[in-house]
Structure 1
């Protein structure tokens, strides 16, 4: 049985910025598992997790960080 993390859903729909952010992470050669781990790893500089930041509309900051992972 497959499932998705509850935090991927907001107000009954998938978090709008999640698809693009996952694409950036996969382009940076992250596996699905590594991408999900990154999204849910606490980051003191945010504070919180990248997923929390996406849920609160901070897409640009999170995508910038994800793009930096590719270098």
Structure 2
């Protein structure tokens, strides 16, 4: 029984370590990646509209400081 508890503890520690080391993107990185990969990009004052080949479109809205405020994806 003691071996089972030690094994369970080691597995729990390893799973926590691997999930906490994931690389997460910021909203700005996601927005710039979408703009680079988009088929048609339309830029307005504080909004960017991206239309892809598959018919989906993504709208990115920026606040007054230039930071990404909202990312909205519509799949048609």
- Common fold: TM-score over 0.5: no
TM-score w.r.t. the length of structure 2 is 0.28
When Rg is computed on C-alpha atoms for both structures, the one with the higher figure is 2
Between 1 and 2, higher relative CO (CA 8 Å, sep ≥ 6) is seen in 1
More strand by share: 2
More helix by share: 1
